[in-house]
């Protein structure tokens, strides 16, 4: 919408008015989204969570899943909507105000390069998150004094649970670090594995490759949240299945099962909503690219194949990053289990479960949306 913002500025709108307009738009969208999301979460979320837990851990968990009571709370709904509206509206206003103030000397250019301070801040965050990640891994490789105290009393389950804070910090630092370096790493990952594809002999594959590598903003915005969600889902599954599953404390085991239900469903909905939102926001840009390829001689069938190839590249790149990122975490979890004399509950294939599901969802969704865009653009070109 930068052209519209430039037009409003030319017509006399000042940064405060433009920022207020955008903040109001963000607040209205947040109000609608949070209200619909809250209402839909009440009847649907728990059954979906239970289905995933049973699918992932087995049918024997059906009787063990606690019956969480579901009732609509007007107070909780209002608090959710008000909080989301406040955060979204304020964030939209502050970001837009800063953007417009900085661009007053150049009305047609709203997207500025990052300052030296912003680049330095990002570098410091990368170093800090990498250092925190390395420290948490190192601290979890040996028997800690707290775990040793439980082992001396032969409380093996409790000894393993003392490592949960470290494991959760590892997940947090992993998500932060990947989000910071994704724009640099993802194009390299695509180039490293796509040599398996016939890029030199197929024009559609070659075009799909360059489309994914060139548009780094879309690549990062699409894959980073998906990898973060996969880290969270797989990590929580490992912790719940190998560290927290079992022990003499029945209440703790029940809390663990409830945590699994909560952590499984909510991130999955956020991930799918993110894919939908990013796809909608970039639909105009994608259609422009399709029109250009059509003028260059690509038939409708070739365009559909190209979009399917793009979906395959995006999804496979996500899958590689998700599996390689969570692999050290899984090995560490198994190491902790062996240190605390526990039996490993999950196989090594558990790290592939969630990435594989999300890989399949990505391919289907992105390919379908791309094919629909090809059809819309082709019909309009034929009409013209």
Residues 6 or more apart in contact with residue 182 via CB below 8 angstroms: 220, 223, 224, 227
3-class SS of residue 214: helix
Q: What is the pLDDT of residue 208?
A: 84
Write down the pTM of the prediction.
Answer: 0.71
Q: What is the pLDDT of residue 319?
A: 95
> What are the DSSP calls for 82-141, one per residue?
HHHHHHHHHHHHHHHHHHHHHTTT-TT---PPPPHHHHHHHHHHHHHHHHHHHHHHHHTS
Q: What is the pLDDT of residue 318?
A: 93
Q: What is the pLDDT of residue 315?
A: 92
Radius of gyration of the chain (CA): 24
Of 138, 158, 137, 139, residue with least CA distance to 148: 158
User: Which regions of the chain does DSSP assign to beta strands (E)?
Assistant: none
The pLDDT averaged over each successive group of 10 residues in the chain (384 residues) is: 70 80 90 85 65 61 58 82 92 81 56 68 91 92 84 78 88 92 91 86 83 84 87 81 59 54 62 72 72 76 86 93 92 84 63 87 86 81 71
Q: What is the pLDDT of residue 312?
A: 92
Q: What is the pLDDT of residue 211?
A: 83
Distance of CA 183 to the CA centre of its chain: 14
Q: What is the pLDDT of residue 70?
A: 59
User: And the tokens for 215?
Assistant: 């548009």
């Amino acid at each position: 919408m930068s052209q519209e913002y430039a037009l409003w500025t030319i017509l006399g709108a000042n940064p405060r008015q433009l920022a207020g307009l955008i903040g109001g738009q963000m607040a209205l969208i947040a109000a609608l989204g949070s209200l619909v999301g809250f209402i839909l979460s009440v009847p649907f979320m728990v059954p979906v969570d239970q289905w995933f837990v049973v699918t992932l851990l087995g049918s024997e968990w059906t009787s063990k899943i606690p019956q969480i009571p579901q009732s609509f709370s007007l107070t909780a709904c209002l608090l959710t909507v008000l909080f989301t509206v406040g955060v979204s509206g304020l964030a939209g206003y502050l970001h837009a105000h800063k953007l417009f103030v900085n661009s007053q000397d150049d009305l047609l250019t709203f997207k500025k390069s990052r300052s030296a301070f912003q680049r330095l801040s990002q570098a410091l965050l990368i170093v800090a998150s990498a250092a925190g990640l390395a420290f948490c891994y190192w601290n979890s490789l040996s028997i800690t004094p707290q775990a040793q105290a439980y082992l001396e009393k032969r409380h093996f389950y409790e000894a393993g649970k003392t490592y949960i804070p470290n494991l959760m910090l590892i997940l947090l630092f992993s998500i932060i670090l990947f989000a910071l370096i994704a724009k640099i790493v993802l194009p390299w990952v695509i180039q490293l594995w796509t040599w398996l594809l016939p890029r030199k002999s197929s024009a559609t594959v070659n075009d799909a490759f360059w489309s994914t590598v060139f548009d780094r903003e879309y690549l990062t915005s699409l894959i980073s949240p998906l990898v973060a969600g996969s880290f969270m889902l797989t990590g929580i599954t490992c912790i719940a299945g190998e560290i927290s599953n079992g022990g003499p404390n029945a209440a703790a085991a029940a809390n663990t099962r409830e945590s699994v239900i909560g952590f499984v469903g909510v991130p999955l909905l956020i991930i799918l909503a993110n894919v939908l939102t990013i796809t909608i926001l970039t639909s105009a840009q994608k259609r422009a690219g399709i029109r250009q390829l059509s003028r260059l001689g690509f038939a409708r069938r070739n365009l559909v194949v190209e979009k399917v190839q793009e979906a395959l590249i995006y999804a496979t790149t996500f899958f590689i990053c998700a599996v390689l990122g969570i692999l050290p975490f899984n090995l560490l979890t198994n190491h902790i289990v062996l240190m605390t004399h526990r039996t490993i509950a999950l196989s090594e294939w558990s790290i592939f479960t969630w990435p594989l599901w999300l890989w399949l969802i990505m391919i289907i969704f992105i390919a379908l949306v791309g094919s629909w865009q090809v059809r819309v653009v082709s019909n309009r070109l034929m009409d013209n």
